[in-house]
Amino acid sequence: MDLRNSDALIVVDVQNDFLPGGALGVPGGDRVVDPINRVMPLFGYVVGTRDWHPREHPHFQEHGGVWPFHCLQDTPGAQFGPGLNAGAFHHVVSKGTDPASHGYDAFEANDLAARLRSRGISRVFVCGLATDYCVRATALASSAEGFETVLLTDAIAAVNVNPEDEDRALGEMRAAGIAFAKTSDLRPAAA
Ligand code: VGL
């Protein structure tokens, strides 16, 4: 797949707490780091997202939610994963800061869509963690915002609270018209 200058990459939540050994470690989550590092330089605009929760958040079991504490603001678990070249991010979106929303979707309640449009971006590639939550929500939102959306299937990993969650999420994304590609299929945009 040939890249265009009007493409952007969104790297979702590659944070310590979502990597193996983290508070909500995604099985195989560390496998996304190398392919992401490899493709970031192919994109003129790279957005990194991070879960960035206050402790008082309905997302958490302690407060009636389903998740253990993870990605608490300014804690080591919320830092980008070791080895991820987060220095390549042009913009960082912090999600889940508002107790009124879970923050699965990187487009929710911030200027990301407008930012991408103002740069002439028409196509968005999505990778990162986790396939069945924030990657899914972000890719679906990107598509709903009118961006042609491509999921990088070798640079994602799923939580799979239920074993079928990954397949269900992939099916929902496909049904929404999201294309699937591998990082090794990406070729640089013509200069
Ligand atoms: C996520 C589970 C809970 C994610 C966030 O980043 O995909 N998953 N909170």
Residues with CB under 6 A from ligand 1: 13, 18, 24, 51, 67, 129-130, 133-134, 159
Residue 190 lies in a domain: no
Q: Which residue has the tokens 């490899």?
A: 38
Assess if residue 86 is contained within a domain: yes
Q: What is the pLDDT of residues 120-171, one digit of tens each?
A: 999 999 999 999 999 999 999 999 999 999 999 999 999 999 999 999 999 9
- Residue 191 within a domain: no
Q: What angle do CA 14, 20, 22 make, to 5 degrees?
A: 75
Q: Is the pLDDT of residue 191 over 90?
A: no
Q: How far is ligand 1, taken at its centre, from the CA of residue 137, in Å?
A: 10
Q: What is the mean pLDDT of the chain?
A: 97
Asked if the structure places residue 100 within a domain, the reply is yes
Q: Which pLDDT value is given to residue 175?
A: 98
CATH number of the domain encompassing residue 97: 3.40.50.850
Q: φ and ψ at 138, to 5 degrees?
A: -70, -40
Atom of ligand 1 nearest to the CA of 135: 7
Closest Cα to atom 8 of ligand 1: 133
The residues assigned a catalytic role are 13, 95, 134
In sign, the C-alpha dihedral spanning 100, 54, 126, 135 is negative
Would you state the pLDDT for residue 190?
Answer: 87
Other beta carbons less than 10 A from residue 184's beta carbon: 11
pLDDT band at 61 (very low <50, low <70, confident <90, very high): very high
**Residue 146 forms part of a structural domain:** yes
Q: Does the residue 27 lie in any domain?
A: yes
Which tens digit of pLDDT belongs to each residue from 157-183? Answer: 999 999 999 999 999 999 999 999 999
User: Which atom of ligand 1 lies nearest, measured to the CA of 67?
Assistant: 3
Total domains in the chain come to 1
List strands edge to edge, sheet with 7-12: 91-95, 46-51, 7-12, 123-129, 148-157, 179-181
Q: Which of 94, 134, 136 to mutate to test the pocket of ligand 1 (most atoms within 8 A of CB)?
A: 134
Question: Is residue 67 pLDDT above 80, yes or no?
Answer: yes
Which pLDDT score is estimated for 38? 98
Amino acid 179: pLDDT:
98
Please report the pLDDT score of residue 181 as a whole number: 98
Would residue 2 count as lying in a domain? no
Distances (CA, A) of 138 to 82, 88, 188: 23, 20, 24
Is it the case that residue 22 has pLDDT exceeding 90? yes
Confirm whether 1 is domain-assigned.
no
Residue 80 reports pLDDT greater than 80: yes
Domain extent at residue 18: 7-185
Supply the residue whose CA is at minimum distance from atom 6 of ligand 1.
Answer: 134
Q: Which atom of ligand 1 is nearest to the CA of 130?
A: 7
Contact 39, 152 (CB under 8 A): yes
